[in-house]
Amino acid sequence: MDEGDSKSHKSVSEKLEAIADVVSECRKCPLAETRTNTVPGEGSPTAEVMFVGEGPGQDEDLSGRPFVGRAGKLLDELIESLPMRREDVYIANVVKCRPPGNRDPERGEVEECSGYLRQQIEAIDPLVIVPLGRHALGWFNPSLRITASNGKIFRHEDRVLMPLLHPSAGLRNPSNAEMLREGIHNLREAILEGIRVKREAIAEPEVATRPSDGDAEAPSSVLEEAGKIASDEAAETDTGETPVGLFERAQTPEEVQEEMRKQRAIEEAAEAAENEEPAVVVDDRQSSFF
């Protein structure tokens, strides 16, 4: 890890720790009265993929960690099947305290807690968000239905949504488990789509028409490769594409992480190259999301 990565990692870690500190003291809604522990979330500060569930269950309430019960074990299996590792991603919930009896969180509770999730997303800035279950999906886009959306890829503002059934649904029903196993494998395509979205944001029209300095200096990269893939496709579709490029080369979790680290470095180099441009698209997308 170079110094730049280290600083970025440290900065995001500090933001996430600050959010968790505030959450630990939060009493903005009635769920504070019945919780054992707050469950702010955990994972890599530089995660490209963020999983978002509805709220903590009993195991999570007792441990203070997200998705550690049986549903969490299934989620771990799904992540490892890619192959990735739990520590490569970030896992959070819409509400940070357990609703009693695992009931659905009420609207007011969600509204009070939503700011923490927004801050986490802004800090981590993932390429892909995976809402787990209909309630989490509804937080992002209430017009989507979870069963019809499972494993499908949607552009959402400046990033990508790829909803999945909640893992607990997979524990209840083998056909749901099969849907989850099929759906998670579209994450590869979702990451590539997320790279395309970011690449497009960096190469806005006024940047693209400049003299060729930026392109000439840009190193050969996963980002470029994703762009070639995008340009090779006659029409962009959200599903049904065979994942290529990033995951063709990266077969182990370490290789996947290395490719993602390279992609981060390239994005930062590209952004640095565009610093003289008035339109900082990355800033726009962060503010527009919220």
Residue 26, SS3?
Answer: coil
Q: How far is the CB of 253 from ligand SF4 (least distance, A)?
A: 32
Contacting residue, 60, 88, 112, 274, with ligand SF4 by CB under 6 A:
112
Binding mask 245-264 for ligand SF4 (x = CB under 6 A): --------------------
> Scanning residues 16 to 45, which ones bind ligand SF4 (CB under 6 A)?
23, 26-29, 31-32, 38
- Is the Cβ of residue 98 or residue 159 nearer to ligand SF4 in the bound state? 98
* Closer Cβ to ligand SF4, 9 or 28, answer by number: 28
> What number of CA atoms fall less than 13 Å from residue 207's CA on the CB side?
20
Rounded to the nearest whole angstrom, what is the least distance from the CB of residue 197 to ligand SF4 in the complex?
29
Distance CA 214, CA 222 (A): 16
- CA–CA separation, 52 vs 38, rounded Å? 15
Of 210, 191, 202, the residue nearest 285 (C-alpha)? 202
Q: Rounded distance, CA 153 to CA 151, Å? A: 7
Report d(CA 113, CA 96) in Å as an integer: 7
195 near ligand SF4, judged by CB under 6 A:
no
Q: How many CA atoms lie within 13 A of 147 on its CB side?
A: 3
Contact 270, 202 (CB under 8 A): yes
Instruction: Kindly tell me which residue out of 20, 82, 113, 130 binds ligand SF4, with binding defined by CB under 6 A.
Output: 113
49 binds ligand SF4 (CB under 6 A): no
- Report the residue from 71, 97, 130, 161 that binds ligand SF4 according to the rule CB under 6 A: 97
- Answer for which of 109, 158, 193, 267 binds ligand SF4 (CB under 6 A) is 109
- Quote the DSSP letter at residue 185: T
Instruction: Using alpha carbons, select from 135, 32, 44 the residue that is nearest to residue 91.
Output: 44
Residue 38 or residue 186: which is nearer to ligand SF4 going by CB?
Answer: 38
Q: Residue 36 Cβ, how far from ligand SF4 at the closest point, in Å?
A: 12
- Of 64 and 245, nearer to ligand SF4 (C-beta) is 64
Residue 61 in the binding site for ligand SF4 (CB under 6 A): no
Smallest distance from ligand SF4 to CB 55, Å: 8
Distance CA 26, CA 235 (A): 47
Nearest approach in angstroms of CB 112 to ligand SF4 is 4
Name the maximum alpha-carbon separation found in the chain. Answer: 61
Task: Give exposure, 56-88, as e/b (b: 16+ Cβ within 10 Å).
Answer: bbebbbeebbbbbbebbebbbebbeebebbbeb
Q: How many CB atoms lie within 10 A of CB 204?
A: 15
Q: How far is the CB of 40 from ligand SF4 (least distance, A)?
A: 8
Residue 96 contacts ligand SF4 per CB under 6 A: yes
Under the binding rule (CB under 6 A), the answer on residue 95 touching ligand SF4 is: yes
The pair of three-digit structure tokens given for residue 283, joined into one six-digit string: 């800033």
Q: How far is the CB of 118 from ligand SF4 (least distance, A)?
A: 12
How many binding residues for ligand SF4 (CB under 6 A)? 14
**Which positions lie near ligand SF4, rule CB under 6 A?**
23, 26-29, 31-32, 38, 95-97, 109, 112-113
